[in-house]
Amino acid sequence: MTNKDARTPASAQDEKSPEAGKSIGWHKAYVEGSRPDLRVPVRQVHLTNGQSVTLYDTSGPYTDPLVDTDVRRGLSPLRENWIIARGDTEEYAGRPVRPEDDGIKHTSPRGGLRNLDAVFPGRPRQPRRGRDGQAVTQLAYARRGEITPEMEFVALRENVSPEVVREEIAAGRAVLPANVNHPEIEPMIIGKRFLVKVNANIGNSAVTSSIEEEVEKMTWATRWGADTVMDLSTGRNIHTTREWVLRNSPVPIGTVPLYQALEKVDGKAEELTWEIYKDTVIEQAEQGVDYMTVHAGVRLPYVPLTANRKTGIVSRGGSIMAAWCLAHHKESFLYENFEELCEILAAYDVTYSLGDGLRPGSIADANDEAQFAELRTLGELNRIARRFDVQTMIEGPGHVPMHKIKENIDLQQEICDEAPFYTLGPLTTDVAPAYDHITSGIGAAMIAWWGTAMLCYVTPKEHLGLPNRDDVKTGVITYKIAAHAADLAKGHPGAQEWDDALSDARFEFRWEDQFNLALDPDTAREFHDETLPAEPAKTAHFCSMCGPKFCSMKISQDIRREHGGSRSEIEAGMAQKSQEFAAAGNRVYLPIAD
């Protein structure tokens, strides 16, 4: 994605690395669209040879030194005027925040909201929804032929025409998650025609973590390239944590409303009701959640299909719904009330992420009857959601060995009418706890190559514990690698220019350029400096890996230098010889007789 077109960044400033405190060679810049309030952020890398490379940027205003961010004030509402200008939404009083929204019981001796931060200190706001319950979704606009500012924004980000964006959304092959109550986001798109996206999960659990840590994890994850963030908090302060995350997030936020609903019934799955669930969905939609995982495909008749599995049901939402279905011996209330749920989501433009509650949790359970029975139901629900103009993506596994991965994406695309696939990994083996970012990064790269639109990251702590800051970074970087490898394999226009720029820097021993172009400049620089810390080594024509005499790139350069004047001259000379060789049928030197 080097900046080869006519678009000029609107601004560019010097910046300090938040990590190393060093002056570094990249800047936050903006590409301006058809209107002054449509400014697409980019990461502009300035090279020492005078060229520059423009990279996709998910880090939000936090990396713009001209923007003064304050976590207690929240980000500025970039999309607010676009939403208001459409005239199809209205503000309303909204549902009051209740103590139990934060997991505090009425019977609690403390009473009331313990945490004053539950009322976000930033600008006052009322929730907004579609007038008269009408669908105010990007899908509805796309189908009507309207190109919204959000669509133009992602078109600039992806280097495609706005019409392509509109078409893909209208066809249901892409989603643009953008709740009318989350005006702070920089719009992004999820679909196989576009760059492969990465989601990072954050969230406290009953065991550990705090609100501040979750907000910090969110900005940290987007700093390294997370395209969306799911807040999977359980335990106390769910509502408040989410409010803080939303008001400070430049990327779409996803949730699993079932988790909060379960907290409201004190963790007793059988006490869940459609009313409690619906109320929770509205609560979250009013806050601005952009997409919600809904496990409506876990139907009563599918639960017995998991009986002979090695690892049963491994999706939290899936196991909760299965427990409910069996306890009541009734069909899932999510499945039964799916149409009403569609009406609610349409009024806020919340995107469905239809959950794979029956995904395989081990190699042994991959691609089994339970998994594919649910997938067929997700296909059915996708068609219903479409009737209500609700944007929809489909979640996928899980643990799948390499030879069974392709069947997953091929079946999903067929059954779900090419709706975007959003997969967790898949993990290609079960034997490496503590390294499941890698077992799954392998599967993620492959399934993305074959058409998956967004990858849900896995951190080194998967199966073992809650990820800390380092784990989040490792998970995001691993998945950015998988996503970019897939962009290359798909031949995504412009994807290889990034690799080419870095390889040019590498061959020409422009070390600083190599670091600045790296997915993780800090660690690349740190690793180099570990053995050759002196500043002159940054211009050396070798590194400590092979030393000066054995540096193949140095020798390659020497060859070019010695057998011609400039690099271009030697290339011309060598190319000439190459042509002569080819002209002789590549058989100038006859093979030794066998």
Nearer to a second copy (CB atom), residue 189 or residue 320? 320
Between 109 and 547, whose beta carbon lies closer to a second copy? 547
Nearest CA to 342 out of 296, 394, 301 is that of 296
Cα–Cα dist 568/575, whole Å: 10
Q: How far is the CB of 383 from a second copy (least distance, A)?
A: 5
List the binding residues for [4Fe-4S] cluster.
Answer: 543, 546, 551
Beta carbons within 10 angstroms of residue 497's beta carbon? 16
**Nearest CB to a second copy, comparing residues 124 and 547:** 547
Q: Which is nearer to a second copy, 64 or 356 (CB)?
A: 356
Q: Is 288 left (phi over 0), alpha (psi -120 to 50) or beta?
A: left
C-alpha triplet 220, 225, 231: angle, nearest 5°: 55
Known binding residues are: 201, 230, 259, 295, 315-317, 356-359, 395, 399, 422, 463, 543, 546, 551
DSSP string, 207-231: TB--HHHHHHHHHHHHHTT-SEEEE
Whichever of 60 and 361 has its CB closer to a second copy, that residue is: 361
d(CA 488, CA 591): 36
**Measured CA distances, 56 to 2, 74, 107, 188 (Å):** 10, 23, 50, 11
Determine the Cα–Cα distance for residues 472 and 433; give it in Å rounded to an integer: 16
User: Tokens at residue 310, please?
Assistant: 């090695």
Of 41 and 441, the one with the shorter C-beta distance to a second copy is 441
Of the two residues 132 and 562, which places its CB atom closer to a second copy in the complex? 562
By beta-carbon proximity to a second copy, the closer residue of 67 and 327 is 327
**Residue 101 C-beta: closest distance to a second copy, Å:** 17
137/147 Cα distance (integer angstroms): 12
Least Å distance, CB 573 to a second copy, is 8
Question: How far apart are alpha carbons 381 and 378 in whole angstroms?
Answer: 5
Q: 547 in helix, strand or coil?
A: coil
Among the listed residues 357, 381, 460, 445, the one whose alpha carbon sits nearest the alpha carbon of residue 409 = 445
397-417 CB burial, b ≥16 within 10 A, e <16: bbbbbeebbeebbebbbebbe
Using CA atoms, how far apart are residues 578 and 108, in angstroms rounded to an integer?
82
Alpha carbon separation from 149 to 81, 470, 546, 568 (Å, rounded): 10, 36, 52, 46
- Binding site members for substrate: 201, 230, 259, 295, 315-317, 356-359, 395, 422
